[in-house]
Amino acid sequence: MTSNFKSIIENAYQHTKPLKDQGKLATYIPELANVNPDKLGVHMTKIDGTSFGVGDHLEKFSIQSIAKVLSLALAVKFLGEKIWTRVDVEPSGTKFDSLLLLETYKGIPRNPFVNSGAIVICDILISHLENAREEFLEFVRDLSDIPNLTYSDNIADSEKATGYRNVALCNFIKSLGNIKNDPAEVLDFYFDMCSLEMNCEQLSRTFSFLANGGKKLNDGKKILTSSQTKRLNALMLTCGFYDESGEFAFKVGLPGKSGVGGGIVALYPNKYTMAVWSPRLNANGNSFKGMKLLEDITTHSEMSIF
C-alpha cells in the first residue's frame, strides 16, 4: 500500500470520527442494540494483496445484509442465468424490508438485495443444495480464509424472535408461488446467513474476488466468471443501498453493499475493496459515518469508477 493511500484513509478517518451522528442502532434486532454505537473502523485491501486499516477495523461486527451478496454469488455459481426468472435486477426505490412492490410484481422481488429478494435466493439455495446452511458457510469460509467461521446463534436467535416483517415477506411470496420450500426453513436459513460476523479487514478480503474478475486473491481460485462478476458489481451499484443507492453512487461512486450492523463494503474493480463499520444508521438503514468516510476517501483519492 502506498503511503499516499495510507494517509488518505487515515485523514478520512480523522475527518469522519468527530462528525455529529444522529443515526440509530438497528434495535429491531435486539442483539444489535448491545453494540457500542461509537465504533468506527475502515480497512482497504488492494488487489496486489497489500492492505491497511484504521480505528476499530479489527473488531468483529454483524455483517447482516452484506451477506446477501455472498449468497447471491453462491446461487449464481450453481444456477447461472436461471435465477433471474425468480428475482429481478431493478432498483426497488423502497426500504429493505418493504412489502409494497411484491403484490404489483406477482411475488418476484425487485432485486436480490432487498429482504424479499434475499429470501427467494435462500429458497433457491435450499432447493438446489444438499445442505444449504452448511454449504453456504463452507463457501464463505473459503472466500474469507476464516476456517472456523460460524453463524452467530445469539444474533440469529434474536432476529428469529422478532423478525415479523421477514416472516410476513416470506409467507406473502409463498402465497404468490415464488417460495418452493417450507417458509420456516427458508427463514431459518435467511436469519443464519445474516448472522455472520467479520471485522473490516476480513470483510474487505472476503469481497476481493469481486474486484479481481471473480478470482480469489490469495490462490487465484475462480469463484465466478468475469461476466457473473460484472453482474454482481452492477447490482451492488444499482441496488446495494436500497432507496439510497443513487445517493451512494452520487457521493461515493463505487459498487457496494450495506448491512444494518453498520457495515459497508465497497469496491473498485481491478484495484481495491474497502470495508467500513460504524453502527449508527441513517433513516434508510445505511451507516451514516460509513458513507461519509467512503465519500471522503474517493473524493481525496479521486478514485471512483466515474
Contact residues for ligand GLN, defined by CB under 6 A: 64-65, 96-97, 115, 159, 166, 194, 259-260, 285
Q: How far is the CB of 186 from ligand GLN (least distance, A)?
A: 13
Q: How far is the CB of 165 from ligand GLN (least distance, A)?
A: 7
Between 155 and 254, whose beta carbon lies closer to ligand GLN? 155
Between 24 and 230, whose beta carbon lies closer to ligand GLN? 24
Long-range CB contacts (within 8 A, 24+) of 286-289: 286/241, 286/242, 286/244, 286/248, 286/258, 287/23, 287/258, 287/262, 287/263, 288/21, 288/22, 288/23, 289/16, 289/19, 289/21, 289/23, 289/40
Q: How far is the CB of 122 from ligand GLN (least distance, A)?
A: 11
Between 224 and 264, whose beta carbon lies closer to ligand GLN? 264
Q: How far is the CB of 265 from ligand GLN (least distance, A)?
A: 12
Report the residue number whose CB is nearest to ligand GLN. 65
Q: How far is the CB of 164 from ligand GLN (least distance, A)?
A: 10
How far lies 283's CA from each of 96, 217, 276, 287, in Å?
11, 35, 18, 9
Between 117 and 269, whose beta carbon lies closer to ligand GLN? 117
Q: Supply the DSSP string of 79-137, one letter for each residue.
A: HGGGGGGTS--S---S-TT--HHHHHTTT--S-TTSHHHHHHHHHHHHHHSSSHHHHHH
Between 164 and 250, whose beta carbon lies closer to ligand GLN? 164
